[in-house]
Amino acid sequence: MFDSLSDKLSAIFTRLRGRGRLTEADVAEALREVRLALLEADVNFRVVKDFIARVRERAVGQEVLESLTPAQMVVKILHEELIALLGPGETIRFAPNPPTVIMLCGLQGSGKTTTAGKLALWVRKRGRNPLLVACDIYRPAAIRQLQVLGGQLNVPVYKAAEGVAPPAIASDAVAHAGRSGFDVVILDTAGRLHINDEMMAELEQVQAAVHPAETLLVVDAMTGQDAVNFAQEFHARLAVDGFIMTKLDGDARGGAALSIRAVTGVPIKFVGLGEKMDALDVFHPDRMASRILGMGDVLSLIEKAEQALDQKKAAELERRLRENRFDLNDFLEQLQQMRRMGPMDQILGMIPGMNRLKGVQVDERQLARHEAMVRAMTPEERSDPSILNGSRKRRIALGSGVTVQEVNQFLRQFELMRQLVHQIAGSGGKRSRRKRYLPF
């Protein structure tokens, strides 16, 4: 979502670095370009005005103009002010006496029901026992959608009898949770195509019935400044505790994410980065600011790796690499673990400096073809690819929907990769005399 903004800011910083010493005029010109970049990213114009004023006040000081690396100082100031703009990082406040009631609200189509499932998975990973509650009795198939998600996640869904009003459903569900040992209750309330008094009155009644520990507004980041406008209206009526920004993996300009906290004073608590149930992340303002400025997000990358990778399997893989026994079974396992971390373009975006490598893309379809080829092989062939003759390759090509030439190309690439990783593992990260001509 922030690719266009990141590219423009990176170009501005590159020009600043090329000037060496900066004058006050240089800083003013750079800030004009930053202002235009933010406005083009659909950031609220008042937010942009205040942001640029704060940066200018700091950037034209002697600390920057007399610095040996003034361009880096400007970037540092922008980074700090972006963090301040995005607000403090906050997460769920669990009630001291369970159950903790979390009320999700928002407009229809914002991804509220899917987010309820994602949030249930998130709290369960932290040792909690969640209960999903279907309070949307108006949208066709809304209850069924929540039940399907609950079935996929193995999370119970509370459904009331027909004709029961949402406030009573919420109240009964909380009582049921207390009796049944559920310590988190997630209410999936009804949305509308637009804000109206009837909807807001019902949400106020639900709030009054269960006194939720968290009232979270689910906001579609693709709606731009409209998201900021209705967030203000929701907050005025419900006093929401935080936002969950969905569809942050889309191609919108991202202005809502940069504006919503500054306009409302309410923090963003979670961001949705895909359709999968585990694609819900705690919002870290410092990490988001780093990604916007092209600095990467190494901490999030490490967290995703720790969640996706099995430590015992990693140790076994290291041993196999040192013994030169890395085969296609190992390749398949590593490919699956890597894909569990998320889309490759998101992973690459977390690596510092990758935004400067234009045109570098990972074809997810090619990875899927590689996986299909390996799955089309017998266990014996995966363990010893050298036995693959012409007839076996034709069978693999037919079974995976590729050509024999693609199978041959994949096997050559795999052999080169196996030799490389064995040499790296065998060297222990150092250049031995025998390997002194290798490029690493």
Q: How many residues does the chain have?
A: 440
Comparing CA positions, the residue from 215, 222, 213, 219 lying closest to residue 239 is 215
Cα within 13 Å of Cα(269), Cβ side: 20
Instruction: Give the per-residue pLDDT at 321.
Output: 61
Backbone φ/ψ region at 44: left (φ over 0), alpha (ψ -120 to 50), beta: beta
Q: What one-character DSSP code corresponds to residue 351?
A: S
Q: What one-character DSSP code corresponds to residue 21?
A: S
Partners of residue 282 on adjacent β-strands: 270
Q: What is the CATH number of domain 310-435?
A: 1.10.260.30
Comparing CA positions, the residue from 161, 165, 151 lying closest to residue 117 is 151
> What is the chain's pLDDT, residue by residue, as a tens digit (440 residues)?
567 777 788 788 777 777 666 778 888 888 899 899 888 888 888 899 999 999 888 877 766 666 657 777 788 888 888 888 888 777 888 988 889 999 999 888 888 999 999 999 999 999 999 999 999 988 878 899 999 999 999 999 999 888 899 999 999 999 999 999 999 999 999 887 777 788 889 999 999 999 999 999 999 888 777 888 888 888 988 899 999 988 877 656 667 778 888 888 899 999 888 788 888 888 888 888 877 776 554 455 555 555 555 666 666 656 666 666 778 887 887 777 776 666 666 666 555 555 554 444 556 778 888 889 999 999 899 888 889 999 999 999 999 999 999 999 999 888 887 777 666 655 554 443 333 333 32
Is the Cα dihedral 425, 429, 434, 438 positive or negative? positive
Cα distance between residue 84 and residue 106, in whole Å: 26
Comparing CA positions, the residue from 271, 255, 264 lying closest to residue 223 is 255
Domain 3-86: state its class: mainly alpha
Instruction: Give the per-residue pLDDT at 368.
Output: 84
Q: What one-character DSSP code corresponds to residue 160?
A: P
Domains in the chain: boundaries: 3-86, 100-295, 310-435
Instruction: Give the per-residue pLDDT at 138.
Output: 87
Supply the angle between the helices 24-40 and 45-59 in degrees, to the nearest 10. Answer: 160
Comparing CA positions, the residue from 158, 164, 115 lying closest to residue 138 is 164
Cα distance between residue 47 and residue 55, in whole Å: 12
Partners of residue 79 on adjacent β-strands: none
Instruction: Give the per-residue pLDDT at 1.
Output: 56
**3-class state of residue 440 by DSSP:** coil
Instruction: Give the per-residue pLDDT at 432.
Output: 39
Cα distance between residue 272 and residue 116, in whole Å: 11
For 192-224, b/e burial (b = at least 16 CB within 10 A) is: beeeeeebbebbeebbebbebbbbbbbbbbbbb
For 393-402, b/e burial (b = at least 16 CB within 10 A) is: bebbbeebeb
Instruction: Give the per-residue pLDDT at 426.
Output: 58
For 415-431, b/e burial (b = at least 16 CB within 10 A) is: eeebeebbbebeeeeee
Q: What is the CATH number of domain 100-295?
A: 3.40.50.300
Q: Which two tokens stand for residue 357?
A: 């490598």
